[in-house]
Amino acid sequence: MTKRISRALWGSSFKRILGTMARTATRAGARAVTKALALPKTRKPAKAAKPASSKNSNWAAGITVGVAGARRYCLYRPPGVRRTERLPLMVMLHGCLQDATALAATSKMNRLAASKRFLVLYPEQDKISNGNACWNWYETRLGKAQREARSIDAVIDQLCQSQPIDPQRIAVAGLSAGASMAALLALSHPERFKALAMHSGIATGLAHSSASAVMAMRGRKQDAAPLPTGLMLPALLVIQGSQDRVVAPANAVLIARQWAAQSGARVGQTRIVQRGTRYPATVTDFRSKGQVVVSLCEITGLDHAWSGGAAGHAYSDPKGPDASGMIWAFASKQFARLT
CB 195 within 8 Å of CB 331: yes
- The residues, ordered by sequence, that sit 6+ positions from 62 with a Cβ below 8 Å of its Cβ are 72, 73, 74, 75
Question: Which amino acid is located at 278 in the chain?
Answer: R
* Three-state secondary structure string covering 303-338: CCCEECCCCCCCCEECCCCCHHHHHHHHHHHHHHCC
Average pLDDT of the residues of the chain:
86
Give the Cα separation of 224 and 221 in Å (integer): 8
Per-residue pLDDT, averaged over 193-203, amounts to 97
At 24, is the pLDDT very low, low, confident or very high (cuts 50, 70, 90)?
very low
How far is 232 from 132, CA to CA, in rounded Å?
Answer: 34
Read off the pLDDT of each residue in 30-40 and give the average, rounded to a whole number: 30
In order of their start, the domains of the chain are 2-336 (3.40.50.1820)
pTM: 0.85
- Taking residues 213-227, report their average pLDDT: 84
Q: How far is the C-alpha of 155 from the C-alpha of 107, rounded, in Å?
A: 21
Burial (CB < 10 A; 0-12, 13-18, 19+), residue 145, is buried
Query: Per-residue confidence at 62, pLDDT binned at 50, 70, 90?
Result: very high
Q: How confident is the model at residue 324 (pLDDT cuts 50, 70, 90)?
A: very high
* Per-residue pLDDT reduced to its tens digit, 300-310: 999 999 999 99
Q: Which of 30 and 273 is assigned the larger pLDDT?
A: 273
d(CA 274, CA 259) in angstroms, rounded, equals 26
Confidence (pLDDT) at 42: 28
Residue with more model confidence, 238 or 34: 238
Mean pLDDT of 18-23: 50
pLDDT of residue 45 exceeding 90, the answer is: no
Share of the chain above pLDDT 90, in %: 73
Q: Is the pLDDT of residue 18 over 70?
A: no
Higher-pLDDT residue of 238, 220: 238
3-class DSSP state of 296: strand
pLDDT of residue 228: 86
pLDDT tens-digit series, residues 91-137: 999 999 999 999 999 999 999 999 999 999 999 999 999 999 999 99
CA–CA gap between residue 173 and residue 196 (Å, rounded):
6
How would residue 28 be classed by pLDDT, with cut points 50, 70 and 90? very low
What tens digit of pLDDT does each residue of 309-318 get? 999 999 999 9
Q: CB neighbours (10 Å) of residue 289?
A: 8
Phi, psi (5° rounding) for residue 37?
-90, -15
